[in-house]
């Protein structure tokens, strides 16, 4: 039984070190390769030994996909590819490819240079790792190999964030990475088509939150910042260099312009400045409005926001500082926080989610006395505000995306177990879609039933399609054909074609029944009577009287003959092929009851009047022959199939069969044994 | 009749200039597909055109001359103009916007399903930003449309050749207009002529489109002017869309060649004209009015349109500089004959240099491409199948391939030389499980399929029949003839042959006696004398002739069937 298997190595009932293994139709794909910000030991990276103990990862993975540049989605990549060892392709979008190495380098610097960690990946490793990256466009279908294809969709969240569809044959999985369903000031909303995947793996950071309108949040934010600087306080906004930083900068920039404020806004140096350049160059990835107006005014060229210098932190007077990183776990934001924390006039605004274990998480959960490195205790007197500006979808957004993609089942990652539980129920109840939430290392197995694609000969298909136009189209129609399986090539063809292709001759099985009737009339006259009788009885069928005196009903031939010994007895010869058995055997019984029979018994609806089945009667004939033949669709059934319509000269040679094939019932009945060499 | 057109695929921004005529007034309701750079830059080209035309409003327009009898009497170019009655007024910006809003944006290698029947995919063609070739394919047939492609390394992403392989038909068009000119040489000539003129104190006029080759020219000049000691000479780019064009060129990193892409990763602007602008060497203006007249310094280099020299700011510069032999006009766009373009300005004192830069495929590249891609058939415009009329001895200036290319002409319908034989159909797993394959030959198995066909959006699906297929028991059903069954089982075809001896043995086993076998020319005749029955057995047919005894017939039938395979 084919199945899809999913094992989170990270981000299973957790936020951080996203790393999910997916096995689909024999292909193994790793989704994201992130680090955990809450840990500084082995737990910060996913446990890649799960994939293989001693073999090379390249042999076990067909590809790696990185959804966006946040470190909890790509932070372990150089470790994974260079230190553990993976040489296969790594897919990400262009902006991710551009920004990812810079963030990795930054992360490396903090870990190695500041914390002095050994056995960490080096700058060269980051470079080597990035050489394995293949950049993808949005909506581009990337053929990883002959069977596995991936496709990126816009995810909002941060610049270059993408959702990925992984597809093998008719089975598919969609991985959302992090996404945002509402457009914001610089990015658009995530979008996916109704691709009906077998499984949708979605983040669930805000599984239980339904956020109020963005406008309110923004107004709130501006009000708080404004009030603080008005009373001379300093505002610290810890952000990650890319993403919320730009969003809030745009927000403050426009506000400052409108209110004509002079209080300085600073941006922590280096990275963030550079980040703005990326936004300028990747304008097509931003939202509609920015894309439209960038020629007149590039939104990422800020007038009021200046670069920050470390010395500014001690300057008197109000200021607003954006500093990295966003969870206050290290770096400049933490330094500034320590300086300003003691003053109640100041304020720190946490605009995003904070992972457990970080200073950000601690102060948000109400801790006011923090134990810092070196056993110092830092008392936090400044105001702490939390405002969700994270560009993650909230519960409504997640439901919306599930509705858009219409998956068969949903799997939750990147969230807290309790919240997931809630969302899981909601999805199962409201959308009636089965939902999973495996923990790290736990495998979810989904049986799938992929359809099997085969080639159908167009002739066979068209014949069926034409029938579909008939009034009875709504009835389910049966299609008959033969499936030829040669190696891994499957083709569905009509039975006739299958025989022909395999070089097999059709074996014609024919029946001829003698129906004895007492009748003194001449054969011709009798045939005429049979004809008019059948004509009146079989209204649904094509009954014909042929010039040579025989009668046909569809493809069944009836001839009248007079056995020489008894002039009072006539014999009706009814002849049909195996394929027409039902009608043939019905006719014989009908004829047996003789001409006295005026009211026919209820007629079986013979199969050949059923749409879709006609072709069998004319099976062995090419369409060309049929069209050129005066009989149209009804060949002479007396003839062996391949000599049905001989040349015209033979017509009228006095033989019983109008089309002068070898079959001559009169003669052989008279002689007792047919002469097969008779011509 | 354009209302019957379902889809328009746009290859590059030069190929969409007539789009508003189609989408706005013809009843066309289909979909238009194009890449984002194509749409954005196409919009700029149209905007410039509309702007140029609107600057010279005409109170009246002459139309009487379009009468065939009058047109016949007119002097040469007018006399020979074709289909003058269909000539239209230029569209407005409103129509342009409306037309462009109907375009669906697509990315390279994106598979777009059309009505479930075919799939179209744009591929990079290497000619311009976002320019594409198209693959139109079903599951078993593949047509490639190659239009305006380039194998040279300029700014756009290189041409994707690999995806064109295995085409049944390759439609080839948009080859270079100037097959004899080498673009690299032309760029060199362009630079040296420009330097020469400027050194002598003259001005250089470059009539050009606002996007495309101009990026490459600016890049060349960026490298060249310093080494040639011309860094103080101002470069002016005058077009209503000059600013937009320069800005847009910088944001399409994903559509650029590898070199430029890696610049963006640094992050730096991909084109050096950003630096030219920053250092004030390159200035751009929407028109010659306004700021430009204040900043204007000579000698200088001016890039402006329209390359036909019939409208746009270029006309003013022709008037201004035409009389001095110090000045030079350099033609780089290949779309217009420079002699015809210059005709109304004669006599001219200024120097005219013609170095057309057309990076599209030439015939040598075409034959290389065709060797590489190996399409079964090539289809191309008639012009490409013979040498150009002006150079009829140049047999190398035509498409040469095996089998010979099929050619088409304007308004001609061409039937493509392939026959569709197969289509894809999906078999439901339940049905697939129920199939019983039998091996007929080594490696080849057969299974008879009776299934319900479901067709939706041109996708076909086979589902198991609603009732389990009954074995060949037509009789049973006959008794319940009132109850018309929905689905009937069709009698299979038979194959194989009947070994007479074994058949006779079987007959005897089943209680038939008095069996007589006669040999005939083609086979045997088995006579069951008691039953007055005769069974004629040949290699590929069996004929049972009996009295009207249904029981007997069915018995015999079943015995015969034992020896045969069913399909």
| DSSP track, B381-450 | EGGGGS--GGGTT-TTSS---SSPPEEE-TT-----S----EEEEEE-HHHHHH---EEEETTEEEEEEE
* Contact residues on chain B for A616, CB-CB shorter than 8 A: 490-491, 493
Considering only the beta carbons, identify the residue of B437, B455, B545 that sits closest to A485.
Answer: B437
Q: Which of the two residues, A659 and B455, has the higher pLDDT score?
A: B455
Token pair belonging to A269: 């140096």
Q: Scanning every residue of chain A, which has its alpha carbon at the shortest distance from the alpha carbon of B523?
A: A676
A342 interface with B at CB cutoff 8 Å: no
> For the ranges A436-450, B191-205, B534-548, which has the lowest average pLDDT?
B534-548
Q: What is the per-residue pLDDT for A408? A: 93
Q: What is the per-residue pLDDT for B80? A: 81
Averaged pLDDT score across all residues of chain A: 79
Active-site amino acid positions of A: 203
Mean pLDDT of B506-518: 82
Inter-residue contact A648 to A625 (CB < 8 Å): no
Residue B477 has pLDDT above 90, yes or no: no
What sign does the dihedral A529-A533-A535-A541 (CA atoms) show? negative
* Contact residues on chain A for B247, CB-CB shorter than 8 A: 294-295
The fraction of chain A above a pLDDT of 90, given in percent, is 33
A453 interface with B at CB cutoff 8 Å: yes
Residue B478 has pLDDT above 80, yes or no: no
Interval A483-500: pLDDT, tens:
888 877 888 888 888 888
- pLDDT category at A268 given cuts 50, 70, 90 is confident
Q: What is the per-residue pLDDT for A272? A: 67
Mean pLDDT of A177-184: 90
Give helix then strand counts, H and E, for chain A. 20, 30
Distance, in angstroms, between B382 CA and closest chain A CA? Answer: 33
Q: Scanning every residue of chain B, which has its alpha carbon at the shortest distance from the alpha carbon of A638?
A: B543
Distance, in angstroms, between B313 CA and closest chain A CA? Answer: 22
Inter-chain CB proximity A139 and B106 less than 8 Å = yes
ipTM: 0.84
Inter-chain CB proximity B488 and A610 less than 8 Å = yes
Distance, in angstroms, between B342 CA and closest chain A CA? Answer: 34
- pLDDT category at B505 given cuts 50, 70, 90 is confident
DSSP assigned state of A450? P
Mean pLDDT of B502-508: 85
Q: What is the per-residue pLDDT for A532? A: 81
Inter-chain CB proximity A450 and B484 less than 8 Å = no
CA A413 to each of CA A410, A435, B30, B204, B477: distance values in angstroms, whole numbers, following the listed order: 10, 11, 41, 63, 57
Q: What are phi and psi of B394, to 5 degrees?
A: -80, 85
Distance, in angstroms, between A361 CA and closest chain B CA? Answer: 33
* Contact residues on chain B for A676, CB-CB shorter than 8 A: 520-523, 525, 536, 538
Interval B86-139: pLDDT, tens:
888 889 999 999 999 999 999 999 999 998 889 999 999 999 999 999 999 988
A135 interface with B at CB cutoff 8 Å: yes
Distance, in angstroms, between B453 CA and closest chain A CA? Answer: 6
Q: Which of the two residues, A469 and A276, has the higher pLDDT score?
A: A276
Q: Where are the domains of chain A?
A: 3-210+391-443, 214-386, 455-462+480-506, 510-593
Distance, in angstroms, between A172 CA and closest chain B CA? Answer: 16
Token pair belonging to B83: 């289909």
Inter-chain CB proximity A604 and B452 less than 8 Å = no
* A285, A298, A479, best to mutate vs chain B, most B CBs in 10 Å: A479
Inter-chain CB proximity A603 and B481 less than 8 Å = yes
> For the ranges A49-63, A451-465, B266-280, which has the lowest average pLDDT?
A451-465
C-alpha dihedral over B368, B371, B377, B382, to 10 degrees?
A: 20
Interval B52-88: pLDDT, tens:
999 887 777 777 888 888 888 888 778 888 778 888 8
| Angle between helix B213-227 and B183-199 (nearest 10) | 50
Token pair belonging to B494: 């038979």
Inter-residue contact A159 to A286 (CB < 8 Å): yes
Distance, in angstroms, between A469 CA and closest chain B CA? Answer: 12
Interval B346-405: pLDDT, tens:
899 999 999 999 999 999 999 999 999 999 999 999 989 888 888 888 888 888 888 889
Inter-chain CB proximity B450 and A478 less than 8 Å = yes
* Contact residues on chain A for B110, CB-CB shorter than 8 A: 137, 139-141, 151
Q: Which of the two residues, A677 and A53, has the higher pLDDT score?
A: A53
> For the ranges A333-347, A447-461, B40-54, B294-308, which has the lowest average pLDDT?
A447-461
Q: What are phi and psi of A546, to 5 degrees?
A: -95, 155
Considering only the beta carbons, identify the residue of B444, B485, B540 that sits closest to A505.
Answer: B540
* A152, A281, A461, best to mutate vs chain B, most B CBs in 10 Å: A281
CATH for the stretch A510-593: 3.30.310
Considering only the beta carbons, identify the residue of B451, B475, B548 that sits closest to A588.
Answer: B548
Residue B441 has pLDDT above 50, yes or no: yes
Averaged pLDDT score across all residues of chain B: 86
Considering only the beta carbons, identify the residue of B426, B495, B543 that sits closest to A451.
Answer: B426
| Angle between helix B93-100 and B36-55 (nearest 10) | 170
Inter-chain CB proximity A476 and B487 less than 8 Å = yes
Non-local CB neighbours of B122 within 8 Å, separated by 6+ positions: B9, B33, B35, B106, B107, B108, B109, B110, B132, B133, B134
Residue B485 has pLDDT above 70, yes or no: no
Interval B321-330: pLDDT, tens:
999 999 999 9
Inter-chain CB proximity A464 and B466 less than 8 Å = no
Non-local CB neighbours of B158 within 8 Å, separated by 6+ positions: B124, B126, B151, B257, B258
Inter-chain CB proximity A607 and B488 less than 8 Å = yes
Q: What is the per-residue pLDDT for A619? A: 30
Non-local CB neighbours of A261 within 8 Å, separated by 6+ positions: A226, A229, A255, A304
Residues A45, A34: Cα–Cα separation, whole Å = 7
Q: What are phi and psi of A321, to 5 degrees?
A: -125, 130
* Contact residues on chain B for A141, CB-CB shorter than 8 A: 109-111, 121
Q: Scanning every residue of chain A, which has its alpha carbon at the shortest distance from the alpha carbon of B448?
A: A482
A460 interface with B at CB cutoff 8 Å: no
Residue A95 CB coordination number (10 Å) = 28
Token pair belonging to B490: 């069709």
* Contact residues on chain B for A280, CB-CB shorter than 8 A: 251, 267
3-state secondary structure B89-155: CCCCHHHHHHHHCCEEEECCCCCEEECCCEEEEEEECCCCCCCEEEEEECCCCEEEEEECCCCCCCC
Distance, in angstroms, between B331 CA and closest chain A CA? Answer: 29
Interval A491-529: pLDDT, tens:
888 888 888 887 777 888 888 888 877 777 777 777 787
Residue B300 has pLDDT above 80, yes or no: yes
Q: What are the b/e assignments for B498-520, b being 16+ CB within 10 Å?
A: bebeebbebbeeeebeebeeeee
Domain B494-566 classified CATH 3.30.310? yes
- pLDDT category at B490 given cuts 50, 70, 90 is low
Residues B567, B562: Cα–Cα separation, whole Å = 14
C-alpha dihedral over B277, B282, B286, B291, to 10 degrees?
A: 100
Mean pLDDT of A37-47: 84
Domain B183-327+335-353 classified CATH 3.30.70.1140? no
Q: Where are the domains of chain B?
A: 183-327+335-353, 494-566
A242 interface with B at CB cutoff 8 Å: no
Residues A602, B376: Cα–Cα separation, whole Å = 58
Q: Which of A51, A37, A138 is nearest to A91 (CA)?
A: A138
The SS3 assignment for A112 reads helix
- pLDDT category at A674 given cuts 50, 70, 90 is very low
Considering only the beta carbons, identify the residue of B110, B422, B536 that sits closest to A140.
Answer: B110
Inter-chain CB proximity A482 and B446 less than 8 Å = yes
Please give the interface size between A and B, counted as residue pairs whose CB atoms are below 8 Å apart. 295
Non-local CB neighbours of B182 within 8 Å, separated by 6+ positions: none
Token pair belonging to A252: 């403050």
Residues B23, B33: Cα–Cα separation, whole Å = 13
Mean pLDDT of B308-332: 93
Inter-chain CB proximity B425 and A492 less than 8 Å = yes
Token pair belonging to A673: 């044994």
Residues B139, A477: Cα–Cα separation, whole Å = 24
The SS3 assignment for A4 reads strand
Token pair belonging to A219: 């107004």
Residues A174, A163: Cα–Cα separation, whole Å = 7
- pLDDT category at A605 given cuts 50, 70, 90 is very low
Mean pLDDT of A569-583: 80
CA B283 to each of CA A160, A642, B269: distance values in angstroms, whole numbers, following the listed order: 32, 83, 17
Interval A88-113: pLDDT, tens:
999 999 999 999 998 898 888 878 87
Task: Give the rounded distance of the alpha carbon of A389 from its chain centre.
Answer: 31
* Contact residues on chain A for B553, CB-CB shorter than 8 A: 511, 513, 585
Residue A313 has pLDDT above 70, yes or no: yes
Burial of A270 (0-12, 13-18, 19+ CB in 10 A): middle
Domain A214-386 classified CATH 3.30.465.10? no
Residue A663 has pLDDT above 50, yes or no: no
Token pair belonging to A294: 């960038």
DSSP assigned state of A138? B
The SS3 assignment for A24 reads strand
Residues A478, A472: Cα–Cα separation, whole Å = 12
Domain A3-210+391-443 classified CATH 3.60.15.10? yes
Burial of A118 (0-12, 13-18, 19+ CB in 10 A): exposed
Interval A610-649: pLDDT, tens:
332 222 223 333 333 333 333 333 333 333 333 333 333 3
Q: What is the per-residue pLDDT for A197? A: 95
Q: What are phi and psi of A376, to 5 degrees?
A: -70, 150
A195 interface with B at CB cutoff 8 Å: no
Considering only the beta carbons, identify the residue of A282, A487, A613 that sits closest to B490.
Answer: A613
Q: Which of B309, B347, B311, B310 is nearest to B329 (CA)?
A: B309
Residues A419, A622: Cα–Cα separation, whole Å = 67
C-alpha distance across the termini of chain A, in Å: 59
C-alpha distance across the termini of chain B, in Å: 47
A600 interface with B at CB cutoff 8 Å: no
């Amino acid at each position: 039984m084919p199945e899809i298997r999913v094992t989170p190595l990270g981000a299973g009932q957790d936020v951080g070190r996203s790393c999910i293994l997916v096995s689909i139709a024999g292909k193994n794909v790793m989704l994201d390769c992130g680090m955990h910000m809450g840990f500084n030991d082995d737990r910060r990276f996913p446990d890649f030994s799960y994939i293989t103990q001693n073999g090379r990862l390249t042999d076990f993975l067909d590809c790696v996909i990185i959804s966006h540049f946040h470190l909890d989605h790509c932070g372990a990549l150089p470790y994974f590819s260079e230190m553990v060892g993976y040489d296969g392709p790594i897919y990400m979008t262009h902006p991710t490819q551009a920004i990812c190495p810079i963030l990795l380098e930054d992360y490396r610097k903090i870990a190695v240079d500041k914390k002095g960690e050994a056995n960490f990946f080096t700058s060269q490793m980051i470079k080597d790792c990035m050489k394995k990256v293949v950049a993808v466009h949005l909506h581009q279908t990337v053929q990883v190999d002959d069977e596995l294809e991936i496709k990126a969709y816009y995810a909002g969240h941060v610049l270059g964030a993408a959702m990925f569809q992984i597809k093998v044959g008719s089975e598919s999985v969609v991985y959302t990475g992090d996404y945002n369903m509402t457009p914001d000031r610089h990015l658009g909303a995530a979008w996916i088509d109704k691709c009906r995947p077998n499984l949708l793996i979605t983040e669930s950071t805000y599984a239980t939150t339904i956020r109020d309108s963005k406008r309110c949040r923004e107004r709130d934010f501006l009000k708080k910042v404004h009030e603080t600087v008005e009373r001379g306080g300093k505002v610290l906004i810890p952000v990650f260099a890319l993403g919320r930083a730009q969003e809030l900068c745009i927000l403050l920039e426009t506000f400052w312009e409108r209110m004509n404020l002079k209080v300085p806004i600073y941006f922590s140096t280096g990275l963030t400045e550079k980040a703005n350049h990326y936004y300028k160059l990747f304008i097509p990835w931003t939202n509609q409005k920015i894309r439209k107006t960038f020629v007149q005014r590039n939104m990422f060229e800020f007038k009021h926001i200046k670069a920050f210098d470390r010395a500014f932190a001690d300057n008197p007077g109000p200021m607003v500082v954006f500093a990295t990183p966003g969870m206050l776990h290290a770096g400049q934001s933490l330094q500034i926080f320590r300086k300003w924390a003691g003053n109640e006039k100041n304020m720190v605004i946490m605009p995003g989610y904070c992972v457990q274990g970080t200073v950000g998480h601690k102060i948000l959960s109400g801790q006011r006395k923090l134990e810092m490195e070196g056993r110092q205790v830092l008392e936090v007197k400044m105001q702490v505000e939390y405002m969700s500006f994270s560009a993650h979808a909230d519960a409504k957004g997640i439901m919306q995306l599930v509705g858009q993609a219409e998956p068969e089942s949903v799997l939750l990652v990147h969230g807290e177990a309790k919240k997931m539980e809630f969302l899981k129920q909601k999805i199962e109840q409201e959308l009636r879609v089965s939902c999973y939430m495996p923990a790290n290392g736990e495998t979810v197995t989904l049986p799938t039933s992929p359809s099997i694609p085969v080639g159908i000969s167009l002739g066979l298909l068209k014949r069926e399609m034409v029938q579909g136009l008939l009034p009875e189209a709504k009835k389910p129609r049966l299609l008959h054909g033969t499936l030829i399986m040669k190696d891994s090539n499957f083709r569905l063809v009509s039975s006739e074609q299958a025989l022909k292709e395999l070089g097999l001759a059709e074996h014609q099985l024919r029946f001829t029944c003698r129906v004895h009737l007492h009748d003194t009339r001449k054969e011709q006259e009798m045939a005429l009577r049979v004809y008019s009788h059948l004509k009146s009885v079989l209204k649904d069928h094509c009954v014909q009287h042929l010039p040579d005196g025989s009668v046909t009903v569809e493809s069944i031939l009836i001839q009248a003959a007079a056995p020489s010994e008894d002039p009072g007895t006539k014999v009706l010869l009814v002849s049909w092929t195996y394929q027409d058995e039902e009608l043939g055997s019905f006719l014989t019984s009908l004829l047996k009851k003789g001409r006295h029979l005026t009211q026919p018994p209820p007629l079986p609806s013979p199969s050949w009047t059923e749409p879709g089945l006609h072709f069998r009667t004319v099976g062995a004939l090419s369409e060309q022959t049929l069209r050129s033949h005066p009989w149209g669709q009804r060949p002479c059934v007396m003839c062996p199939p391949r000599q049905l319509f001989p040349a015209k000269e033979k017509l009228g040679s006095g033989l019983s069969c109008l089309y002068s094939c070898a079959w001559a019932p009169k003669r052989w009945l008279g002689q007792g044994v047919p002469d097969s060499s008779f011509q | 009749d354009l209302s019957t057109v379902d889809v328009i695929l746009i290859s590059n921004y030069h190929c969409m200039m007539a789009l508003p005529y189609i989408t706005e007034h013809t009843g066309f309701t289909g979909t238009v597909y194009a890449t984002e750079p194509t749409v954005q830059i196409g919009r700029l080209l149209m905007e410039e055109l509309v702007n140029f035309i609107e600057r010279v409003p005409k109170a009246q327009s002459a139309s009487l001359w379009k009468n065939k009898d009058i047109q016949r009497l007119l002097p040469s170019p007018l006399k020979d103009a074709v289909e003058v009655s269909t000539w239209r007024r230029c569209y407005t910006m409103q129509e342009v916007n409306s037309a462009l809003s109907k375009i669906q944006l697509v990315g390279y290698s994106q598979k777009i399903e059309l009505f479930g029947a075919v799939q179209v995919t744009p591929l990079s063609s290497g000619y311009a930003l976002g320019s594409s070739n198209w693959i139109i394919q079903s599951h078993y047939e593949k047509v490639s449309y190659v239009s305006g492609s380039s194998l040279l390394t300029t700014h756009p992403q290189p041409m994707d050749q690999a995806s064109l392989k295995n085409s049944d038909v390759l439609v080839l068009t948009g080859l270079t207009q100037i097959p004899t000119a080498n673009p690299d040489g032309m760029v060199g000539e362009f630079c040296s002529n420009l330097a020469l003129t400027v050194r002598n104190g003259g001005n250089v006029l470059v009539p050009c489109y606002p996007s495309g080759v101009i990026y490459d020219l600016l890049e060349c000049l960026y490298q060249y002017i310093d080494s040639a000691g011309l860094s103080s000479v101002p470069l002016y780019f005058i077009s209503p869309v000059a600013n937009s064009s320069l800005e847009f060129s910088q944001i399409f990193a994903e559509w650029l060649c590898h070199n430029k892409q890696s610049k963006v990763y640094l992050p730096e602007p991909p084109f050096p004209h950003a630096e030219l602008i920053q250092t004030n060497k390159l200035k751009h203006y929407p028109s010659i009015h306004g700021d430009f007249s204040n900043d204007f310094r000579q000698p200088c280099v001016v890039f402006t349109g329209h390359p036909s020299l019939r409208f746009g700011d270029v006309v003013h510069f022709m008037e201004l500089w035409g009389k001095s032999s110090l000045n030079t006009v350099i033609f780089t766009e290949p779309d217009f004959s420079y002699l015809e373009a210059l005709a109304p300005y004669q006599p001219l004192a200024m120097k005219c240099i013609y170095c057309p830069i057309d990076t599209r495929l030439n015939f040598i590249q075409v034959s290389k491409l065709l060797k590489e891609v190996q399409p079964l058939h090539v289809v191309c415009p008639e012009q490409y199948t013979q040498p150009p009329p002006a150079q009829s001895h140049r047999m190398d200036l035509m498409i040469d391939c095996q089998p010979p290319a099929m050619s088409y002409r304007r308004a001609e319908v061409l039937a493509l030389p392939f026959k569709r034989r197969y289509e894809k159909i999906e078999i439901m797993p339940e049905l697939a499980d129920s199939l019983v394959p039998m091996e007929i030959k080594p490696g080849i198995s057969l299974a008879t399929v009776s299934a319900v066909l479901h067709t939706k959006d041109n996708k076909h699906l086979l589902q198991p029949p609603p009732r389990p297929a009954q074995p060949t028991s037509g009789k049973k059903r006959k008794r319940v003839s009132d109850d018309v069954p929905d689905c009937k089982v069709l009698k299979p075809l038979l194959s194989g042959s009947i070994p007479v001896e074994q058949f006779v043995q079987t007959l005897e086993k089943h209680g038939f006696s008095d069996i007589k076998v006669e040999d005939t020319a083609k086979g045997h005749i088995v006579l069951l004398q008691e039953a007055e029955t005769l069974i004629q057995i040949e290699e590929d047919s069996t004929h049972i002739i009996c009295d009207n005894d249904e029981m007997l017939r069915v018995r015999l039938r079943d015995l015969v069937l034992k020896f045969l395979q069913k399909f």
